[in-house]
Amino acid sequence: MRTIALAVVVVGSLVSRAYAQNATSLWGVPIEQPPPGVFAPSAPPADESPDGVGLFFDSTTGTLRWRQAHISHGPSALAHSTPLAGRQWNSLAGPVDYASGGFRTELVGYPDPGVWELNGTVVVAGPTNVEYNILVTVGTTLDQDPRRAGLITGNPVIVGGGVQTWTGAANMPFSIPVAAQDIHCNTQRGNECEVMVWIYPKADGLVSSALAVIGPDSSGGGGLPEFFVTSFTMRRVRQ
């Protein structure tokens, strides 16, 4: 089974050639030499914007690697705080809205065919000394429904995740990095896969909440800082 990194660093999608050639590390994490041609992205399909170049964490080597990537989905984010039940998997995606084409809202994505990387954060507030396990899955448990035409159905496959135990003050928001480095959507163009995020608190009862944007007073429900928000972005990787 592929090792999933718990700490993932991603740089903005566009970077300068000079910086790429000169940088050897970022926040103490070594940067591999850029592969040939990485700063000359191939032409994208007609219905997409041009590629960018990003740094992606390789959990097998512990280094950052330059890769061509196309930001085509996201950020997907929680619009409001979501209560989390203990000792069970909580989906951070909303219900299926058949009126809008059969798609879910909240922390869920519908990528086109291709190979993708997902990086994000789940922000949680709850009691102290609770471990949180996170999974990223591709697929859906729903049977085929004509109102969800074009979706790839079947049992979800685990493609990534994250884990962290909070030992600080109770109900103080903290972030859990989430990563899925190798998401394959093997289908024809025009069809889409369903990528979802799940969280399992190892405690009894209604223990905590996954939060939307955190306010200046550390409460959920709006305000700054903006990076304190449960969200993810998916990037297509072109080899």
Q: What mean pLDDT do residues 47-60 have?
A: 62
Residue 53 maps to a domain: no
Q: Determine the residue type at 74.
A: G
pLDDT digit string, tens, across residues 123-133: 888 888 999 99
Residue 149 maps to a domain: yes
CA–CA separation, 220 vs 21, rounded Å? 41
Counted domains in the chain: 1
Check: pTM over 0.75? Answer yes or no: no
Backbone torsions φ then ψ of 27, nearest 5 degrees: 55, 35
Residue 215 maps to a domain: yes
Residue 112 maps to a domain: yes
Residue 106 maps to a domain: yes
Residue 58's pLDDT is 67
Residue 43's pLDDT is 60
Selection from 59-63, 142-146, 148-152, 171-175 with the highest mean pLDDT: 171-175
Residue 129 maps to a domain: yes
State whether the Cα torsion 10-12-18-19 is positive or negative. negative
> Whole-number mean pLDDT of the chain?
75
β-pair partners for 192: 151
Residue 90: which domain range? 68-237
Residue 38 maps to a domain: no
CATH number at residue 174: 2.60.120.660
Answer for the pair 35, 55: CB distance below 8 angstroms, yes or no: no
Residue 223's pLDDT is 42
Selection from 42-46, 49-53, 133-137 with the highest mean pLDDT: 133-137
pLDDT digit string, tens, across residues 2-44: 333 333 333 333 344 445 456 787 777 888 888 777 776 556 5
CA–CA separation, 41 vs 157, rounded Å? 30
